Amino acid sequence: MPSEDKPIAWAAYAAENEKTSWADQVEEEETGGMDFPPSSEKVIGDIKTVIDYKLNKDDKKVKVIRKYKLEVKKTSKSVARRKLLKKFGLSKDDPSGPNKATTIISEEVMMQFMSNKEEELLQDQDDPTLSKFKHQLQYYMFFKNFKGTARDPSTEEPKKEEPEENAGAQSGAPGKYIPPSLRAGGSAAGSSMPSRGNRDEQATIRVTNLSEETKEPDLQELFKPFGPIQRIYLAKDKHTQQSKGFAFINFHNREDAAKAIKSVCGFGYDHLILNVEWAKPSTTN
């Protein structure tokens, strides 16, 4: 059954362009100069008709007509839905299907996804090059996604005492908790918190779900695109120095901290998804 398992889109494309498919061409070559008419296939509605010529067991030429009912594969549902969308722009008057003048039909592209299991295997191999590469790739992806929102420290202006825009409220993240002192119009004065006269204390974020391999320099690399960092504290066991999997990042500017929360929360890092929130004031205060 030739080309039955070919992608439907290709069959439809071949039919629309009244050409034989690649698979049929191969078959024609394989019949080796026999004067068979070329086989053909047509798609009408959801019925595909394939016309073939071949020798039967009595060495007689026969015409073989086969009809298939086409089914959209389960995995192609979204593709099928997309096909119903109207064309727009310069292509809005084109007939349905790919236009050869503007569209290249590529070969099937295989995507490779890494499961957690495989990542663990990679780590078990204890290959520092591989591990380093993985880290860099993840950081690169992160930076690509978020450099638009991150502040470039080299062009950083000196901090100004001006009323701050409320980054949290405009971030489109409703339900995110913002301490009262950070809300628009809020100020430390009048809050129930004992004032330490240090606004920078409010520019601290807590990062949880860090892998135990994460070190302070990693955190610095991760967060410095958002702005100058005042202090990094990675919680560790006092005796074993084992990371406890969470850390505090102290920015100079609250807005940078807000951007860091917005951008890094949910970011995959070292096989874990980071959680980033505003830090509560430390217990001793």
Q: How many residues bind DNA (CB under 7 A)?
A: 21
Which of residues 97, 98, 153, 245 is near DNA by CB under 7 A?
245
Which of residues 176, 246, 265, 271 is near DNA by CB under 7 A?
246
Site for DNA in 257-276 (CB under 7 A): none
Tokens at 265, concatenated = 């929360």
Which of residues 202, 250, 253, 263 is near DNA by CB under 7 A?
250
Q: Which is nearer to DNA, 43 or 261 (CB)?
A: 261
Q: Which is nearer to DNA, 50 or 247 (CB)?
A: 247
Report the distance separating Cα 195 and Cα 35, nearest Å: 95
Least distance to DNA, CB of residue 177, Å = 9
| Cα–Cα distance list, 107 to 6, 9, 39 (Å) | 12, 12, 23
Q: Which is nearer to DNA, 49 or 209 (CB)?
A: 209
Neighbouring CB atoms inside 10 A of 6's CB total: 14
| Cα–Cα distance list, 1 to 12, 103, 157 (Å) | 17, 29, 70
Least distance to DNA, CB of residue 89, Å = 46
Q: Which is nearer to DNA, 48 or 262 (CB)?
A: 262
Is residue 280 at the binding interface for DNA, with CB under 7 A as the rule? yes
Tokens at 164, concatenated = 């701050």
As a whole number of Å, the end-to-end CA separation of the chain is 77
Least distance to DNA, CB of residue 282, Å = 3
The greatest distance separating any two alpha carbons of the chain, rounded to the nearest whole angstrom, comes to: 101
Is residue 179 at the binding interface for DNA, with CB under 7 A as the rule? no
Least distance to DNA, CB of residue 90, Å = 50
Q: Which is nearer to DNA, 86 or 238 (CB)?
A: 238
Give 210-240 as a DSSP string.
--TT--HHHHHHHHGGGS-EEEEEEEE-TTT
Phi, psi of 202 (to 5 degrees): -85, 0
Site for DNA in 183-242 (CB under 7 A): 204, 206, 208-210, 233, 235, 238
Q: Indicate the length of the chain as a whole number.
A: 285
- Which chain residues interact with DNA by CB under 7 A? 204, 206, 208-210, 233, 235, 238, 244-246, 248, 250, 277-284
